[in-house]
A and B are shown apart, each in its own frame.
Chain A
Amino acid sequence: MERIYLDHAAATPIDRRVLDAMMPYLTTAFGNPSSLHYFGQEARAAVQRARQQVAHCLGVAAADIVFTSGGTEGDNLAIRGYLRANFPQGGHLITTAVEHQAVLHTFEAMARQGYSLTVLPVDAAGRVRIDDVAAAIRDDTVLISCMYANNETGTIQPIRAIGELAAAKGIAFHVDAVQAFGYVPIQPLAEHIDLLTLCSHKIYGPKGIGALYIRHGLQLTSEAYGGPQEHRLRAGTENVAAIVGFGEAVALLEAERPQRIAAAAQLKQRFYDGLIKGDARFRLNGTLEGSLPNIIDFSVDGMESPIVLIALDMQGIAVSAGSACEAGAVEPSHVLRAMGVDEKWLRSSIRVSFGTENTPDQIDTVVQALQQILDPVTKRR
C-alpha cells in the first residue's frame, strides 16, 4: 500500500541532508561539549555552529538562543522562567483561548499559583482582535503570550501589532512559533518579540530538540538544577546530534522557505478547490487567507472525525483531527470552540497539513478517498 502522509503539522520526516549532518555526532564525534579535550571541543563547536544557524535565520545574536527539548519545554521555560525570575510575587498575564496546551496549561498552573490571568477570545477565523489585547492590558500586566500561527487552523495572529503594544507598555511578549516557523520569516527584533519558542520536528529536523530565543538582557530562571549548560538555563548534557540536526534544518529552511511556501500554497488551493469549495458537506475552519500555507482544517457533515481518520488510515492516508488528543480519543477542539464553531461541526474536524514531499497527485487521491468515505452510495459495502 502506498502511504500518503499529510500530517506535517504533527511531525515532518527528517530531511536527508539533516540526517547526514547529524550522523557524525551519532557515531564518531560523540564527545561531551563540556569536556576539555578534542572530542569535547569538537562537539562544542558543533553546538555553537547550530546556535549560529538558528540565530542567523532569526536575525538575532547566537548568545540569545537556548536549545531545549522542543516546543513544550520552550514554552514552559519562557513563561515560568520569566515569571519566577522577575515577578515571583504575582502579576497579571494575558494569553489567548487558542494556544497550544503547552502554553494554556502552563498559564492555568500559574493562575492556580496566584497570578491573575486573562484569556482573550478570538473571532470566527480564530484571530485575536488587537483592540481586545489593548483593552486587557492593566497596570500590573507583566507578560503577554500569543502563538504566531495556530496549530489546528493555521490562522496567523497579528504578532507585530501585539508586540508594539507590549513594547510600548514595557510588558514582556512571548510567542510560540512552533507551527509558523516553517512558513513565516520571523524577525523577533522587528516584531518586538521578547521570547520565541521554536521546535525542530515541524521543519524536517529530528524530534526532541527546539530552541527558545530570549531577548538580550531578559532574565529567566532555569527549570532544572544542575550544570551550567545553555547559559545556565538548561542544565544537562546537550543533545548534540539533535542540536546539529536542528541547526541544519533551520539553515535549509532559511534557504528554501520561499519555495516551500509556494509549493504548499499550491497544494492547499488544490485540496480546497477539489474537496471543500462549493460543497455544503464541508466547512472550512478558519480562512484561506491569513493562514499558514501548509495547514487546512475543515469539518465534515454527518461523520465524526475518528471514523474519517481511521477510514483514511486504512487506505494508507495519514491526517489528523486537530491537536487535542488524549490517548487517541479525540476531544472537541478548544480552538474550534473558541472560534464559535457550531456544535454540529465540532466533533468532525479534520486537519490536513502538507509537506515538501507531497505531490498534486497525492492531493487528488486524498480528495477522492474522502469523497468516497463520505458518500454512502459508493461506500465499500
Chain B
Amino acid sequence: MTKRIAVAMSGGVDSSVTAALLKEQGYDVIGITLRLWEEDPSCPAVENVHSCCSLSAVDDAKAVASVIGIPHYTLDFRQPFRKDVIDYFVQSYTLGRTPNPCIACNKHIKFGLLWQQAQQFGADSLATGHYARIVFNEEKGLYELLRGTDRRKDQSYVLYELTQDLLPHIMLPMAALEKSETRELAKKFGLPVFNKPESQDICFIPDNDYKGFLKKRVPQTFKPGDFVDLQGHVVGRHEGIPCYTIGQRRGLHLGGPGGPYYVVALDVPHNRVIVGGEQDLFRTEVKADDVSWVEGAPQGPFEALGKIRYAAPEAPCTVYPEKGGLRVEFAKPQRAVTAGQALVLYDRETGERVLGGGVII
C-alpha cells in the first residue's frame, strides 16, 4: 500500500513545495492546515466588509493543494495553540524570560497533537517544510537529526526536541534544497505561492508589536520600575519588565556618564531591570532545564558546540548533564545569554548533528 503522508501546510512556499515533491515521488499525500490563532479583532467581518485578515493562509494552502491535486483539510487547533503556545509565550515574559514560541509549537502542536491526530486518520508519516535532515545511522541503529544543507536556512535549532520515537515518522523533504531552489520548484510546479514573502517572526503577532500583544493580555505586568546598574544605583525608570530582553540597548532612554547601557538581567521579584556595560553581557556558564536528547541522554560530561539562540553562531563548549537539566561551560564567553531561549547542542566534530538541548534558565 502506498505510504500515506500528512503534510503540515502553512500556505507558505516551503510547505507547499514539500507537498508537491512528495506527491511527485508517488506518495499518498494529504495536506493539513492548522487554524492556530484568532484573526485580528480590529478588523472584524461584520457588515459584509471584505476582511483583509480572513483565513488567507488556509486559502493559500487550499489553492496549492488543488494545483497539486491532493486532498486538503483544515484542523481547528486554536484551543491547544492558545494553551501550549500563546499562554506559554505570555507567561514567559511575565517571568522575565524571552520565549521561542516556534519551538513550543513544534513540540506540542505540529509534532505533538497534529501527528497524534494524523495517525488517527491513517497517516504513516508527517512531513513539514523545515530545513533539516533526518538520517538513519545503520551503525548506531539510530535516527540522526542533521542541519539543512543550506546553512542560511537551517532550522534544526527549532527541532531539537524531536526524539527517536518521532523521527522514523517524520519527513523533511526540504532538507537538501537551497531556498532559491525551493522557489524555482514552486514555479515549476505552478504553485500560486511561489513569490509569497517569508513569514514574519511570530505568526500570531502579525504586526510584530509584541509589546502591544502582551499589554492586552497581561497589563498588570507593565508596571514601571527602576533601572538599576550593577552597583545598585538607580539610573532611570523602565516601562515594565516585558518590554526588555537581555542584551537590549535601544529604547532604554538612559543617558548619563555610565552609558551606553545594556539590559543584563531582569529582576522580576523586585520589578527592576538591571543594566550594565557591554562587557557585562558576557558569560561562559549557561544552565538549561526541560532538556531533550535526540539520540538518548548522554553519560557524563562531553564536548559539543552550543547555540544559545536561533541567530547565534554555535561555539565550542563542555556539557555537564545534571539531574533534570544541564550545565554548559563555553570556551569563550557568550554574549547576551537569555533565559527562555533554547540552548541547542551540536556534535563537536562536524557541527552538523543535533544532540539535543534545553531551555535556558
A contacts, CB < 8 Å to B: 109, 112, 303, 306-307, 309-311, 313-314, 326-331, 373, 379-381
Most buried by A among B55, B73, B120: B120
Say how far B57's CB is from chain A's closest CB, in angstroms. 10
B58 adjacent to A381 (CB under 8 Å): no
A329 adjacent to B117 (CB under 8 Å): no
Report the Cα distance A112→B46, complex, angstroms.
10
A380 adjacent to B122 (CB under 8 Å): yes
Interface string of B81-110 (1 = CB under 8 A from A): 000000000000000000000000000000
A311 adjacent to B55 (CB under 8 Å): no
Please provide the 3 A-B residue pairs with the shortest distance between their CB atoms, ordered closest to farther: A328-B74, A311-B121, A329-B76
B30 adjacent to A329 (CB under 8 Å): no
Contact of A381 among B54, B55, B74, B119 (CB under 8 A): B119
Whether, in the assembled complex, B312 has its beta carbon less than 8 Å from a beta carbon of chain A, the answer is: no
13 CB < 8 A contacts A-B: A109-B47, A112-B46, A307-B117, A310-B121, A311-B122, A314-B30, A327-B58, A327-B74, A328-B33, A328-B72, A328-B73, A329-B58, A331-B76
Whether, in the assembled complex, B59 has its beta carbon less than 8 Å from a beta carbon of chain A, the answer is: yes
Report the Cα distance A303→B120, complex, angstroms.
9
Whether, in the assembled complex, B35 has its beta carbon less than 8 Å from a beta carbon of chain A, the answer is: yes
Whether, in the assembled complex, B176 has its beta carbon less than 8 Å from a beta carbon of chain A, the answer is: no
Interface size on B, residues (CB 8 A): 22
A329 adjacent to B75 (CB under 8 Å): yes
Report the Cα distance A256→B47, complex, angstroms.
41
Whether, in the assembled complex, B309 has its beta carbon less than 8 Å from a beta carbon of chain A, the answer is: no
Report the Cα distance A303→B75, complex, angstroms.
13
Contact of A327 among B30, B55, B121 (CB under 8 A): B55
New A-B contacts (20) at CB < 8 Å, excluding given A328-B33, A331-B76: A112-B46, A112-B47, A306-B75, A307-B117, A307-B121, A310-B73, A311-B120, A313-B73, A314-B4, A314-B121, A326-B55, A327-B35, A327-B55, A327-B74, A328-B62, A329-B74, A329-B75, A379-B120, A380-B122, A381-B119
| A331 CB contacts on chain B under 8 angstroms | 76
What residue in chain B is nearest A313 (Cβ atoms)?
B71
What residue in chain A is nearest B4 (Cβ atoms)?
A314
What residue in chain A is nearest B48 (Cβ atoms)?
A109
Most buried by B among A112, A311, A313, A328: A328
Say how far A91's CB is from chain B's closest CB, in angstroms. 20
Report the Cα distance A245→B73, complex, angstroms.
32
Report the Cα distance A326→B85, complex, angstroms.
23
Report the Cα distance A314→B28, complex, angstroms.
10
| A307 CB contacts on chain B under 8 angstroms | 117, 120-121
| B74 CB contacts on chain A under 8 angstroms | 306, 327-329
What residue in chain B is nearest A325 (Cβ atoms)?
B74
What residue in chain B is nearest A347 (Cβ atoms)?
B76
Report the Cα distance A313→B4, complex, angstroms.
13
| A326 CB contacts on chain B under 8 angstroms | 55
Say how far A65's CB is from chain B's closest CB, in angstroms. 27
| A328 CB contacts on chain B under 8 angstroms | 33, 58, 62, 72-74
What residue in chain A is nearest B45 (Cβ atoms)?
A326
Say how far B186's CB is from chain A's closest CB, in angstroms. 22
B76 adjacent to A306 (CB under 8 Å): yes
| A373 CB contacts on chain B under 8 angstroms | 120
Report the Cα distance A306→B35, complex, angstroms.
13
Report the Cα distance A130→B58, complex, angstroms.
42
Majority-rule SS of B interface residues: mixed
B contacts, CB < 8 Å to A: 4, 30, 33, 35, 46-47, 54-55, 58-59, 62, 71-76, 117, 119-122
| B46 CB contacts on chain A under 8 angstroms | 112
| A379 CB contacts on chain B under 8 angstroms | 120
Say how far B22's CB is from chain A's closest CB, in angstroms. 16
Say how far B204's CB is from chain A's closest CB, in angstroms. 16
Say how far B266's CB is from chain A's closest CB, in angstroms. 38
Report the Cα distance A84→B75, complex, angstroms.
40
Say how far A323's CB is from chain B's closest CB, in angstroms. 15
What residue in chain B is nearest A309 (Cβ atoms)?
B73
| A303 CB contacts on chain B under 8 angstroms | 120
| A330 CB contacts on chain B under 8 angstroms | 76
Report the Cα distance A237→B197, complex, angstroms.
42
What residue in chain A is nearest B33 (Cβ atoms)?
A328
Report the Cα distance A22→B54, complex, angstroms.
37
Report the Cα distance A33→B2, complex, angstroms.
53
What residue in chain A is nearest B32 (Cβ atoms)?
A310
Say how far B170's CB is from chain A's closest CB, in angstroms. 16
Most buried by B among A109, A112, A313, A326: A326
Contact of B122 among A306, A314, A327 (CB under 8 A): A314
Contact of A306 among B54, B62, B71, B73 (CB under 8 A): B73
Most buried by B among A109, A306, A309, A373: A306
| B30 CB contacts on chain A under 8 angstroms | 310, 314
| B33 CB contacts on chain A under 8 angstroms | 328
| A313 CB contacts on chain B under 8 angstroms | 71, 73
What residue in chain B is nearest A108 (Cβ atoms)?
B46
What residue in chain B is nearest A311 (Cβ atoms)?
B121
Report the Cα distance A311→B58, complex, angstroms.
20
What residue in chain A is nearest B74 (Cβ atoms)?
A328
What residue in chain A is nearest B56 (Cβ atoms)?
A327
Report the Cα distance A109→B35, complex, angstroms.
27
Report the Cα distance A109→B76, complex, angstroms.
27
Report the Cα distance A310→B119, complex, angstroms.
11
Most buried by B among A306, A307, A327, A373: A327
Say how far A329's CB is from chain B's closest CB, in angstroms. 4
| A306 CB contacts on chain B under 8 angstroms | 73-76
| A380 CB contacts on chain B under 8 angstroms | 122
Report the Cα distance A180→B121, complex, angstroms.
33
Say how far B24's CB is from chain A's closest CB, in angstroms. 21
What residue in chain B is nearest A305 (Cβ atoms)?
B76
Report the Cα distance A70→B175, complex, angstroms.
49
Report the Cα distance A373→B71, complex, angstroms.
19
Say how far B125's CB is from chain A's closest CB, in angstroms. 12
What residue in chain A is nearest B71 (Cβ atoms)?
A313
What residue in chain B is nearest A312 (Cβ atoms)?
B121
| B76 CB contacts on chain A under 8 angstroms | 306, 329-331
What residue in chain A is nearest B79 (Cβ atoms)?
A347
Report the Cα distance A329→B47, complex, angstroms.
22
| B122 CB contacts on chain A under 8 angstroms | 311, 314, 380
Report the Cα distance A182→B359, complex, angstroms.
61
Report the Cα distance A329→B62, complex, angstroms.
12
